[in-house]
Amino acid sequence: MNHRELAQAILEQVGGINNITQLVNCATRLRMNFKDESLVHLDQINKIPGVLGAVKKSGQYQIIIGTDVANVCNEIKAMGLNESPVNTGKKVGKIDALMDIFAAIFTPVIPAITAAGMIKAILVICVLLGMEKTSQIYVVLSFIADAGFYFLPIMLAVSSAKKLGCNPYLAAMVGGALLHPAFTQLVTAGEPVHIFGLPIKLINYGSSVIPIILAVWLMTYVERFADKVSPKAVKFFMKPTLTILIVVPIVLVVLGPLGSYIGTGIATITDFLNMHVSWLVPTLMGAFMPLLVLTGMHWSFLPVLMTSYTTYGYEAVMGPGSLVSNVCQGSAALCVSIKTKNKELKQLASSAGVTALMGITEPAMYGVTIKFKKILLSVMLGGGVGGFYAGLMGVVRYTSGTPGLLSIPIFIGENPMNVVHALIACAIGFVVTFAATWFYGFEEPTDSSEKTETKETEAGEKASMVKKIVISSPVNGKKVDISKVKDETFAKEILGKGIAVESVDGKIAAPFDGEVATIFRTKHVIGLKSTEGVELLIHIGIDTVELEGKFFTPHVQDGDTFKKGDLLLEFDKKAIEEAGYETIIPVIVTNTSNYLEVLASKEGDVEMGQELLTIL
């Protein structure tokens, strides 16, 4: 398929061009929002040749294409895309909504920041090779690179306005006012300045991040107000005039300084961590980056990264750890390709391993890592160890870019050893992950041609040789295969094997005799331990953690003992669904590795007390 054919195939499965309300792309993914999500068929998108995967995360649909993603995105836009904010009426969780906003605001400006950072890296290399900083070539390229950072408020103003639903050109004007040479001269002079009798805080807003986002947020309300009070006959000029005259003074007097203080606070915390515990954040990022990407939580760090770039010219929060983590993904996949006897997995893992080393981890993550719990743990171990070294050596990233061996130049800066230590950290992560994957091992998958034929036979043989534990259903409802749950953590069996149930009455009963291991703070998750040692996780709904315990009523506490059939928890199924959340209930054996097999019963209706899972 060429780029246009791939774009057309995707559009057929998302309800057409008119169903798209927003489309952006990052280094490897199309990120899309839709008017009617019922028209989107992820299962069919996953089958399109050229699509590496498709998921919904953080309130946004993500279609993984790879390095050709920009070409596919451009083809879709060329077909007549008219992006506009649409209120679908569906309630979205606060966390998902926030991640969606961050992604929409920062993703469009990343190419500019990347270009600026790469030019700076080139200049560093040129200086090392003998170029004078006073030469005209250096000076010109330097101010070109600086423009990407200095005028960041204007770029963020446009992307923020597009996401929040106000005029992007008026937003750009607000950003321009903060950077105007006349205002900059006032800041330099330091003389008191007032507007309408109110003092203006003299702050240099060049390269700032938070102030302009707050300004555009205010503008969304002011613009609606101006539209409402402006008579139709003069609305054309009165609406934008009122908007600017209200927004800019408030930003200069209140929101600008507030945003500056927030940015300074973020920079101070980042500086403190880099100075006193430089190893901590890269270690955590290196270890947990796969889980952050799976849940979409990595977007929450974008304001921190942008603030660090504009304040220090580099960041040490995500770059070092994510570089090592990506290399570890490649290491694990390559190890699997060498060790596995399964032809399909060998072919997938070999190609996915190479692309992961280059920074494109989706094929390795979705095709190999997540499918095997032990491999994921090996990747996290290698990422943590490599990240620890990177943090200990003070490795930093000078600009944005997909971390991988191809993008190593983003770690080139004035300290020539920075990139050397980055490569050493990668080597450490690679070796640790490869060794852990090799010796810790993984469950060898059965060839697809043999899978159907041998599954029942193997289960029967195991059942005759080992003790069988039957887990009863804690729910009245309908059984659903765990792979159909719209959460990769459960569908890919990352936490363990199990099954899901659609409840009909909102009641959770004890599936065996045992005790309550834990009830999560937000009451949507309950962990149980049977008298026979089975550890069971019952997770009510998808993303229901965002309800903060609302609509859930537990009848037991941590440490309570119970008998099979005792009522453990109730939830308001209707209210949760009206709030926009699914109420499917994954039931997971979290200590799956302690047993030979966990077998789920067939899909269909089930009542409390009936057989749900069989553990061998």
Helix (H) / strand (E) element for 470: namely: strand 469-472
pLDDT band at 431 (very low <50, low <70, confident <90, very high): very high
Reported as type and span, the H/E element at residue 269 is: helix 256-276
**Residues 420-428: what's their mean pLDDT?**
95
Best CA proximity match to 339, nearest among 273, 438, 230? 438
Name the percent of the chain lying above pLDDT 70. Answer: 91
pLDDT bin (cut points 50, 70, 90) of residue 27 is: low
Read off the pLDDT of each residue in 35-39 and give the average, rounded to a whole number: 85
| Mean pLDDT of all residues in 22-48 | 82
Q: Is residue 134 assigned to a domain?
A: no
Mean pLDDT check: name the lowest of 51-60, 186-195, 493-502.
51-60
Question: Is pLDDT above 50 for 453?
Answer: no
Residues 479 and 360 in one domain: no
Report the pLDDT value the prediction gives residue 124, as an integer from 0 to 100.
82
Asked whether residue 145 is domain-assigned, the answer is no
Catalytically annotated residue among 26, 166, 328, 335: 26
Answer whether residue 303 is part of any domain: no
Q: Among the three residues 68, 88, 108, which one is the final residue of a domain in this structure? A: 88
pLDDT for 548 beyond 70: yes
Give the model's pLDDT for residue 248: 94
Are residues 522 and 574 located together in one domain of the fold?
yes
Regarding whether 552 and 498 lie in a shared domain, the answer is yes
What dihedral angle (degrees, nearest 10) is formed by the CA atoms of 523, 492, 302, 330?
A: 150
Tokens of 8: 């057309």
Give the residue-averaged pLDDT of 413-428: 91
**335 belongs to the catalytic site:** no
Poorest-confidence range of 412-416, 466-470, 571-575?
466-470
Q: What is the pLDDT of residue 283?
A: 93
Does residue 481 sit in helix, strand or coil?
coil
Instruction: Quick: pLDDT tens for 2-14.
Output: 888 898 899 988 8
Burial 268-307 (b: 16+ CB within 10 A, else e): eebeebbeeebbebbbbbbbbbbebbbbbebbbbbbbbbb
CATH number at residue 491: 2.70.70.10
Q: Quick one: pLDDT at residue 510?
A: 92
pLDDT mean over 144-162: 91
CA dist 398 and 247 (Å) reads 34
pLDDT band at 274 (very low <50, low <70, confident <90, very high): confident
Mean pLDDT of all residues in 277-301: 81
Residues 516 and 493 in one domain: yes
Residue 461 has what pLDDT? 46
Q: Which CATH number is 75's domain given?
A: 3.30.1360.60
**Between 80 and 282, whose confidence is greater?**
282
For residue 449, the model assigns a pLDDT of 44
**According to the model, what pLDDT value does residue 251 have?**
94
The b-or-e profile of 472-484 (16+ CB within 10 A means b, else e) is bbbbbbebbebee
Q: Are residues 396 and 289 in the same domain?
A: yes
> Would you state the pLDDT for residue 578?
87
- Tokens coding 375: 């491999």
Name the percent of the chain lying above pLDDT 90. 32
Lowest-confidence region among 226-230, 381-385, 412-416, 453-457: 453-457
Res 533 pLDDT > 90:
no
Measured in residues, the chain has a length of: 616
* Mean pLDDT across 360-370: 76
In this predicted structure, the answer to whether residue 254 has a pLDDT above a threshold of 90 is yes
Q: Flag whether pLDDT at 240 surpasses 50.
A: yes
Helices (H), 58-209: 69-78, 94-106, 110-128, 136-150, 152-164, 168-179, 181-189
Question: Measured between alpha carbons, how far is 545 from 116 in angstroms, rounded to an integer?
Answer: 39
Say yes or no: 45 and 192 in one domain.
Answer: no
Shared domain for 261 and 285, answered yes or no, is no
pLDDT surpassing 70 at residue 406:
yes
Same domain, 259 and 406: no
Is the residue at 180 inside a domain?
Answer: yes
466 and 609 belong to one structural domain: yes
- Spatial neighbors of 180 by CB under 8 A, at least 6 apart, are none
Better-predicted residue by pLDDT, 479 or 46: 479
Q: Is residue 132 part of a domain?
A: no
- pLDDT tens column, 78-102: 887 766 554 444 455 566 666 677 7
Q: 359 pLDDT exceeds 90?
A: no
Choose between 22 and 391: higher pLDDT: 391
Number of folded domains that form the chain? 4
Query: Beta strand pairing status for 598-600 and 611-615?
Result: antiparallel
115 part of a folded domain: no
Say whether both 265 and 290 belong to one domain: no
Residue 187 covered by a domain = yes
Lowest mean pLDDT among 26-35, 238-247, 317-326, 393-402: 26-35
CA count, 13 A, side-chain hemisphere, 195: 14
Quick check: 194 and 202 in contact, CB under 8 A? no
> Do the domain assignments include residue 138?
no
Residue that finishes a domain, picked among 88, 111, 138? 88
Say yes or no: 161 and 259 in one domain.
Answer: yes
Residue with tokens 């007549």: 80
Q: Answer with the one of 88, 118, 133 that is the final residue of a domain.
A: 88
Band (199; pLDDT cuts 50, 70, 90): very high
Full domain range(s) for residue 155? 151-276
Q: What is the pLDDT of residue 445?
A: 64
488 and 405 share one domain: no
